[in-house]
Chains A and B, each alone.
Chain A
């Protein structure tokens, strides 16, 4: 049986991990490759690197990080942030990443998803969606630029459109829950999960192991992503996975 995936997310700025793991003796807690190794040993099923570099040089450094990670580890990983063209995708994927994720750039130019999917296959293209519940619209709306700008897309509609264009996976972040540690947004995840036939990764709100169980078991998300809960050792990846196993979730 296909297992549910637990995915730690690492923010990388100018080649350095920000919000690095705080609690273990790493040679260099700011080294994304060291952190990737650490999470691999913990049993992470995949990794996501989010490049938050502001500069061109920073994004070039990201390519090195990707190459080093792929050289050192036998674990699948996705790279997002700053991917605006087919050439950006080529550089990251050829350096050894398994998938690229697109967010704002895909909303500005939806053909980017189609181009990437036609070239590399749908399985390489992840559409990342930042969604926030809007009282005015009565549903979850899509935001760009890290949540600053509201679009006219309903999250469910944009997810469907992204899949139609060729996205092979949806990385769905609840802006309402992000950083709150009160649990994943089950309503949002369920709505998108039911709207598309590709895997959905739930993100935003993980505060304890039970939150992972809810989103994976009750609303059937295919994977759950978190950052701070793993970085600050509130719960290790291994602890979350053993909790989920005990609760009957199909976990590697």
Chain B
């Protein structure tokens, strides 16, 4: 079972790749259509600015592919933000329109970026967490200046409270999952979440 980490020239793929490999996933880093079609699921990572990322996704010819795939797709950090309707980072830019909501800069908080460990409060159980025994320690590592807002609450799985702002931490819709924090940098709980997501991929393939 192959997991494709989508390579569109944005940021730190190494840590995500290694985290998946530690969970015994067979990982390929690619933007090649044939390799993508052969994979069972996708991870869309990303560090950088929203407009650059959308531009590169367009250049790589991946926009429609990601909007139409029926396979599990996990977006991390900027990768999650790209799946919303639009972002105001740098200049207003259209996103992938998979999740409802827009990505905006934090307002009214004392510190930007939102950087460090914050507790994830779960609001519902997505299928891939159902029946799992959740650890008591649910801190995850965030680092971002923009966050998803005006979202559809039905798509929210968990959030973190940052000085009164509810920061969507996990969103889900059909085969799509987004994580604003970095599960690959979030210690044991991050590993737990990645493993749970991978198990669901395995289950969907078998």
Mark contacts of B167-206 with chain A using CB atoms, 8 A cut-off: 1 yes-contact digit, 0 otherwise: 0000000000000001011111011000000000000000
In the assembled complex, the Cα of A223 lies from the Cα of B49 at a distance in Å of 26
CB distance from B147 to the nearest CB of A (A): 13
CB distance from B108 to the nearest CB of A (A): 12
For A4, what are the chain B residues with a Cβ–Cβ distance below 8 Å?
Answer: 116
CB distance from A227 to the nearest CB of B (A): 20
B56 within 8 A of partner (CB): no
In the assembled complex, the Cα of A94 lies from the Cα of B47 at a distance in Å of 11
Q: Which parts of A155-174 form the interface with B (CB within 8 Å)?
A: 168-169
From B167, which residue of chain A is reached at the shortest CB distance?
A2
Mark contacts of B141-155 with chain A using CB atoms, 8 A cut-off: 1 yes-contact digit, 0 otherwise: 111110000000000
Stretch with Cβ within 8 A of B (4 or more), from A10-18, A69-77, A107-115: A69-77
In the assembled complex, the Cα of A194 lies from the Cα of B16 at a distance in Å of 35
Q: Are A252 and B139 in contact (CB under 8 A)?
A: yes
Q: Are B185 and A2 in contact (CB under 8 A)?
A: no
Q: Are B117 and A93 in contact (CB under 8 A)?
A: no
Q: Are B113 and A75 in contact (CB under 8 A)?
A: no
Given A67-B14, A120-B47: A198 and B116 within 8 A (CB)?
no
Q: Are A3 and B116 in contact (CB under 8 A)?
A: yes
Q: Are B14 and A197 in contact (CB under 8 A)?
A: no
In the assembled complex, the Cα of A169 lies from the Cα of B116 at a distance in Å of 11
How many of chain B's residues touch chain A, expressed as a range? Answer: 35 or more
B12 within 8 A of partner (CB): yes
Q: Are B48 and A93 in contact (CB under 8 A)?
A: no
B161 within 8 A of partner (CB): yes
From B140, which residue of chain A is reached at the shortest CB distance?
A252
In the assembled complex, the Cα of A109 lies from the Cα of B183 at a distance in Å of 35
Q: Are A222 and B14 in contact (CB under 8 A)?
A: no
B31 within 8 A of partner (CB): no
For B116, what are the chain A residues with a Cβ–Cβ distance below 8 Å?
Answer: 2-5, 45, 199, 222-223
A95 within 8 A of partner (CB): yes
Q: Are A45 and B117 in contact (CB under 8 A)?
A: yes
Given A1-B118, A3-B139: A74 and B187 within 8 A (CB)?
yes
Please report A residues at the B interface, Cβ cutoff 8 Å. Answer: 1-5, 40, 45, 67, 70-71, 74-76, 93-96, 98, 119-124, 168-169, 197-199, 222-223, 252
Please report B residues at the A interface, Cβ cutoff 8 Å. Answer: 11-12, 14-15, 18-19, 22, 47-49, 110-119, 137, 139, 141-145, 160-163, 182, 184-188, 190-191
